[in-house]
Amino acid sequence: MDPVSRRKFIAVGGGTSLAAFLAACGGGGSSSTMSSSTEEETKPTGNGESETEQFGEGDIGILNYALTLEYLETAFYEEVVKSGLFKGEELAVLKKFGAEEAQHVAALKGTVQKLGGKPAAMPKAEFPLKNAKSVAELAGTVENLGAAAYLGQAGNIESPEVLAAALSIHSVEARHAATLNTLLGLSITPDGAFGKPADVQTVLKSVEPFIVG
C-alpha cells in the first residue's frame, strides 16, 4: 500500500475544519453529524469498491483503515505527553491511553501480517496543542471518533476472529472516550443508549486536517 498522505485523504472526501471535526464526534455539542446507518456503510462506492478498498481487500482493508486511525491516536498522545501541558495524575492517564493505543497498533499490524497482507504505512501527523483545555477536548473527540469508526465497520468484517479483536479495541476506545467526556463535563453516553457508527468518508474527512506531507 502506498504511504498515507494528506493528498490521499483530500481525494477521499475533501478538506474540513477543526470545528467540523469537533462537531462530528460530539466534542463540540451535537453528535448528529456522526450518524450513519450500517446499511449505508455496507454499500460500495460509486466505482464498485468498498469504502476501505483503498487500504486493502476485505478484512485486511478494514484492519489497515483501523491501523491508520490508531497511528494517528498514538502520535497524538505522544505529542500531548511531550507538550508539557499536563502534570501529575492527568499526565499519567494520558500516558496510559497512549500506551494502549500503541498496543492497538502492534496488534493490528500483526493481524494484517498474519492474514498475508501488508500493514498500512504510518502517516505523518501534526496536532494543534495550544492549551490544556483544547487538547483535552481534542482527545475526547479523537476517542469518540475512534469508537464510532470501529462500530461503523463491525458489520463488514468477515472473520469472527477479526471481529472479536476489533470489538475488544472498540471497547477500550469507548472507555477512553467516556473517561475524557467525564473530565470535560460531557455526557458519558453522548448518543444515548446506542452508539452511532461513523462511515469511512466521515472519519477520513475528520482526520484529514492532521495529515501532513
Q: What pTM did the predictor assign?
A: 0.77
In the block, cell 448528529 appears at 32
Is 1 contained in some domain? Answer: no
Structurally, the chain folds into a number of domains equal to: 1
User: Looking at this protein, which amino acid is placed at residue 135?
Assistant: V
Taking the C-alpha atoms of residue 154 and residue 152, their distance in angstroms, rounded to an integer, is 6
Digitized pLDDT (tens) for each residue of the chain, 213 residues in all: 444 444 433 333 333 333 333 333 333 333 332 233 333 443 444 444 578 999 999 999 999 999 999 999 999 999 999 999 999 999 999 999 999 999 999 999 999 999 999 999 999 999 999 999 999 999 999 999 999 999 999 999 999 999 999 999 999 999 999 999 998 899 999 899 999 999 999 999 999 999 986
In terms of Cα–Cα distance, which of 66, 92, 65, 59 is closest to 8?
Answer: 65
Tell me if 135 sits within 8 A of 83, measured CB to CB: yes
Is 27 contained in some domain? Answer: yes
User: Looking at this protein, which amino acid is placed at residue 159?
Assistant: S
User: Looking at this protein, which amino acid is placed at residue 10?
Assistant: I
Measured in residues, the chain has a length of 213
Is 139 contained in some domain? Answer: yes
Instruction: State which residues form the domain around 14.
Output: 6-212
